[in-house]
Amino acid sequence: MSESEPAHRAAELRAMLQQHAHHYYVLDAPQIPDAEYDRLFQELEAIEAAHPELRHDDSPTQRVVGGVLDGFVAVRHAVPMLSIRTETDTEPSGAVAFDARVRRELALTEADPPIEYAAELKFDGLAMNLRYEAGVLVQAATRGDGETGEDVTQNIRTIAQIPRRLKCEPPPAVLEVRGEVYIRRDDFEALNERQRALIAEGAKNEKTFVNPRNAAAGAVRQLDPAIAAKRPLSFFAYGLGEVQGWGSDNSALPATHSGLLDALGAFGLPVSAERAVVQGAEGLVRFHAAIGARRDSLPFDIDGVVYKVNNRALQQRLGFVTREPRWAVAHKYPAQEQMTRLLGIDIQVGRTGKLTPVAKLEPVFVGGTTVSNATLHNEDEVRRKDVRVGDTVIVRRAGDVIPQVVGVVHDSAAVEASRGEPFDLYQRLSGQCPVCGSPIGREEGEVDWRCTGGLTCPAQRKEAILHFAGRRAMDIEGLGDKLVDQLVDGGLIRTLPELYTLGLAKLCALDRMGDKSAANLLAGLEASKRTTLGRFLYALGIRHIGETTAKDLARHFGNLDRIIEAAEAQLLEVNDVGPVVAHSVRSFFDQPHHREIIEQLRAVGISWQETEGVAVAAPDAIGIAGVTGRTFVLTGTLPTLTRDAAKELIEAAGGKVTGSVSKKTNYVVAGTEAGSKLDKANELGVMVLDEAGLLALLQGEMA
Catalytic residues: 122
How far is it, in rounded angstroms, from Cα 178 to Cα 140? 10
At residue 418, φ and ψ (nearest 5 deg) are -100, 10
> Which H or E run contains 476?
none
Asked if residue 66 lies in contact with residue 146, where contact means CB atoms within 8 angstroms, the answer is yes
Neighbouring CB atoms inside 10 A of 695's CB total 19
- HSE (side-chain half, CA atoms, 13 Å) at 627: 30
Name, in order, each residue with C-beta under 8 angstroms of 53's C-beta and a sequence gap of 6 or more. Answer: none
How far is it, in rounded angstroms, from Cα 384 to Cα 662? 44
What is the radius of gyration, based on Cα positions, of the chain?
Answer: 34
How far is it, in rounded angstroms, from Cα 490 to Cα 510? 9
> Which H or E run contains 19?
helix 4-21
Distances (CA, A) of 163 to 153, 225, 692: 13, 17, 61
Asked if residue 379 lies in contact with residue 369, where contact means CB atoms within 8 angstroms, the answer is no
Closest CA relative to residue 161, chosen from 237, 257, 240, 221: 237
Amino acid identity, position 633: V
Four-point Cα dihedral 672, 677, 679, 683, nearest 10: -140
| Cross-strand bridge partners of residue 609 | 532
Please return the burial class of 669, using the count of CB atoms within 10 Å of its CB with bins 0-12, 13-18 and 19+.
buried
How far is it, in rounded angstroms, from Cα 198 to Cα 208? 10
How far is it, in rounded angstroms, from Cα 589 to Cα 685? 45
How far is it, in rounded angstroms, from Cα 220 to Cα 153? 9
Asked if residue 468 lies in contact with residue 539, where contact means CB atoms within 8 angstroms, the answer is yes
How far is it, in rounded angstroms, from Cα 180 to Cα 426? 45
